Amino acid sequence: MHWTHNVLVKKEKRRLFHFDQLDIETGKLKSKLGAVDVEKEMKKSVLQPGIEKELRLPKYDVSERKLKALRKKEREKTKGPGWFNMPAPEVTEELKNDLQV
């Protein structure tokens, strides 16, 4: 019985809030641990303003075929990792003729 009493006393002595975290002049916390940028988080959100006016909700998941097609389109935009993801050059008629010669 005495052992459990010691454990309870140790738990009670532990502080959850330290006054050195408090700014005395303003009365606010010095650290911004609980601060969340709402605008930044809403940009990544699926639920955008005006979604209640939509006829149906947008699909949240994408099929494997669609993902494969999207990845292929993205790969075509660049030369690839061997070329440090440089953009693919635009092939004009003049450039095409130069390459044929």
**What tokens appear for 40 in the block?**
């930044």
Separation in Å, CA 98 to CA 22, 79, 91, 92, 94: 70, 20, 11, 10, 6
**Secondary structure percentages of the chain, helix, strand, coil, to 5:** 50, 5, 50
pLDDT in tens, 66-85: 999 999 988 888 877 778 87
pTM: 0.34
The confidence score (pLDDT) of residue 29 equals 73
pLDDT digits (tens, 9 = 90+) for 27-66: 777 776 667 777 888 888 877 788 888 888 777 788 999 9
pLDDT in tens, 18-31: 677 777 777 777 77
Q: Is 68 helix (H, G, I), strand (E, B) or coil?
A: helix
